[in-house]
Amino acid sequence: MALKIFDCHCHLQDPRILSMAPQLIESALRSGVVHFAVNGIHEKDWHLVKQLADSHPSTIPNFGLHPWFVADRSPIWFETLKQYLNAVPCAAVGEIGLDKGSHGREIPFNHQVEVFQKQLELAKELRRPATIHCVRAFQDALEIIKCAGPFPHGFILHSYLGSAEMVSQFAEHGAYFSFSGFTMALKQQTAKKMLKAVPLDRILLETDAPEALPKVGLDSLPSTISECSHSTGLLATGGSSSTNSQGSESLYESLNHPANIHAVLHYVASLLEMPAEELAEISYANSVRVFSFEGSKLFTVLHIDDSGSLYSERIRVKTFCRSVEIIFVYSCF
């Protein structure tokens, strides 16, 4: 049985790769990546996320204001965000969060907290999951989540690099933990301890493309955008000069793409000491669960009515602590 993988966090709207997004999606689909959660990061890219979602059924749109761009927000940013989320019922909330790292320190933390809280509350109000960026601010994030919760539709801590000790505290409040190529930058013993602390029904996989290029890859797949472009003939198209082509190759050497989730899958599975196929199945089911909110692309099923015509029907999802009961309402045949 072919693997089905869900890239639960990427940025295909990033200007460095946007023009190649259709080819990158096609390449990933051929490798078994069947869904992509594309996360917006600021007001100026939300329309691009929407366009990708409209053009590619495999993409799940997410709209949010990333902490790095809090200082650049407009006076109407929150109203604009609500408009996008109301207009696109299949969209989740993200990427939002807190950052006390080298980049985040440049943004007043009280402003980050204010923006983060508003977006968390909006996700809860709309009954949609939120994807959270958190760098060196895990205790702050936990306290805010405790106050704003509960979150019956869950939230994702993307590219999780927090401590193993904090996993249970976040999980208690609805967290899912997503792992990317950044996991490979940790000492193997640290990464293994962290991964083994995560309940299997809360583990997700992502690429964070075009960031988080895996340090180790698979011989069977192109690891960089440059290699992927060569394999699809992308860099050779468009009538560009050889000089421009060489410049593009240099730029793309450090960029990640969704098909690289296979490298993440195999690395995480090796640390968990389980078959990659089993982890793929588990993480895919978890991703479908968290993104199966009412209105999402994963919330529609097809039935055949008694005349033989296909029609779509919404299904109701009841979320319990660690499981999901899906109730299908079928017509009589």
Q: Are 123 and 87 contacting, i.e. CB atoms less than 8 angstroms apart?
A: no
Residue 314 has pLDDT above 50, yes or no: no
Kind of pairing between the strands at 324-327 and 316-319: antiparallel
Q: At what angle do helices 276-290 and 261-272 cross, to 10 degrees?
A: 110
Query: Which residues have CB under 8 Å from 206's CB, separation 6+?
Result: 7, 8, 9, 10, 37, 158, 159, 178, 179, 180, 261, 264
99-158 pLDDT, tens per residue?
A: 999 999 999 999 999 999 999 999 999 999 999 999 999 999 999 999 999 998 999 999
- The pLDDT value given to residue 41: 98
Q: For residue 211, which phi and psi values (nearest 5 degrees)?
A: -90, 180
Structure tokens at 231: 């394999």
Distance (Å, whole) CA 164 – CA 269: 17
Residue 307 has pLDDT above 60, yes or no: no
Residue 250 has pLDDT above 60, yes or no: no
Residue 253 has pLDDT above 80, yes or no: no
Q: Are 161 and 178 contacting, i.e. CB atoms less than 8 angstroms apart?
A: no
Averaged pLDDT of the chain: 85
Residue 251 has pLDDT above 60, yes or no: no
Distance (Å, whole) CA 61 – CA 54: 9
Domains of the chain: 5-290 (3.20.20.140), 300-327 (no CATH)
Going by C-alpha positions, the residue among 5, 39, 1, 2 that lies closest to residue 260 is 5
317-331 pLDDT, tens per residue?
A: 333 233 333 333 322
> Strand, coil or helix: what is 315?
coil
**Secondary structure tally for the chain: helices H, strands E:** 11, 12
- The pLDDT value given to residue 305: 43
Q: Residues 257, 40, 21, 219: what is their CA dihedral angle, to the nearest 10 degrees?
A: 10
- The pLDDT value given to residue 128: 97
Q: How confident is the model at residue 1 (pLDDT cuts 50, 70, 90)?
A: low
Report, as an integer, the average pLDDT of 291-311.
Answer: 65
Q: How confident is the model at residue 218 (pLDDT cuts 50, 70, 90)?
A: low
Structure tokens at 92: 């989740």
Where is average pLDDT lowest: 201-210, 214-223, 247-256, 275-284?
A: 214-223
